Structure 1
């Protein structure tokens, strides 16, 4: 019995002993991963040149030559409207402007012969100015009958379709230039003293898994009070390819506090 009690006591003592520390190599690896995680920030790729184009007049769409994903060049026509009514009005006011110019010339000739007074000449000149101003208004309207590309890019989404009628200000086409991508990150505000324009870091897009050497371009103008984060905008290397706006990834910095 004393022998059994000794064995039982030994078992209890062994079980009560504190667990030994984990493998030093494993602990070091975990610490390294924790430090690396503290130097990371999530970000997204955004294009400098992107826009949602809207209709500047009310009318029916007759043509949209580019579909989603298709490339276009700057100043190419992206949307064309039925502008028969606007063109007819322009023709009418242009004819009125020509008549007003002829009338003014005739009044000026008569004034040179002292056949009409200065008042008649001034009135004819006012009619001519009014007619030309109206013609300019309709020239602008006719020019708005086609929407041209503001930059080289691709169609992201058609908001409307050909043959639909839209009101003024209706969004019609979303476009983007994926050659002008930047990285937008939200980094901890405590990094502010360390981050400088021109500083480099590694950015790995989730979709490609290929590390990219990025460069800090500029920092945001304010710190978010709730999350204590700061906007950071960075540039991609010139030879980066296969990237699209909206891709997300992880940035890895060195020497962050």
Structure 2
């Protein structure tokens, strides 16, 4: 009689752990280093917009010229009045020294001179706002007003950007803060150009979003790349350490 041979218990099969991908891609967007909207400080007609939309300019270049011919004439009138008031004060001052006039006349002349000086200052301040200069070098992103159009005080005129060095904004898992430090190099692939560019971390955000457990990171593109334009997007490619995933 054959003795049944009991089968050896099957040893549990250990599934090999899936090796994590060493490269992680994070969605990014290119941003200008600085940007602002220039607005009118006075109400006047736009005479010229010397820099067309999309063109480059340097810091200090004139970007908007208003028609201030009337205000320029008012400034000249105020300067003439101040000159006459100053001469009257000087004449009364000499008369007082010669005892030919009283202190009252001198004080009145001084008050008129001070008043005319204030009018000159006010007119000059207005005329100084008839030209808007570029606060930094960059490009005109958008013209919000046209030549010969009347602009109201506070009205937006131009959007300008400084794209001398483009920044990269990305959102990464907060646990990456353990190894993601300032100066860390990585690669970024831009959708619009289909090319990959070198970049490095500029700064890591100071606050973690407790809901998404993520943090904002800002980086910069290394080198000068004329084909890159603010607003482009793509993916940042990181080699994540095995302990940092």
Q: CA deviation at 1:229?
A: 2.3
2:70 is aligned to 85
Q: Does 1:157 align with 2:142?
A: yes
1:249 is aligned to 234
Contact between 1:49 and 1:180, CA under 8 Å: does it hold in 2? no
Contact between 2:165 and 2:220, CA under 8 Å: does it hold in 1? no
1:99 is aligned to 84
Distance 1:229 1:127, change over 3 A: farther
| TM-score in terms of structure 2 length | 0.84
2:163 is aligned to 178
Q: Provide the rounded CA distance (Å) in 2 between the counterparts of 1:151 and 1:200.
A: 28
Q: CA deviation at 1:243?
A: 0.8
Q: Which has the higher strand share?
A: 2
Q: CA deviation at 1:32?
A: 4.6
Aligned equivalent of 1:208, options 193, 202, 205: 193
Q: Does 1:217 align with 2:202?
A: yes
Say how many residue pairs are matched.
230
Superposition misfits of 4+ residues, deviation over 4 angstroms:
none
Aligned equivalent of 1:120, options 100, 105, 109: 105
| Structure 1 unaligned residues grouped into runs of 5+ | 1-21
Contact between 1:178 and 1:243, CA under 8 Å: does it hold in 2? no
| Structure 2 unaligned residues grouped into runs of 5+ | 1-14
Distance 1:226 1:124, change over 3 A: farther
Q: Does 1:58 align with 2:39?
A: no
- Structure 2 SS opposite 1:192: helix
Aligned equivalent of 1:237, options 213, 219, 222: 222
Contact between 2:165 and 2:221, CA under 8 Å: does it hold in 1? no
Q: Provide the rounded CA distance (Å) in 1 between the counterparts of 2:157 and 2:111.
A: 40
| TM-score in terms of structure 1 length | 0.80
Q: CA deviation at 1:73?
A: 2.8
Contact between 1:197 and 1:217, CA under 8 Å: does it hold in 2? yes
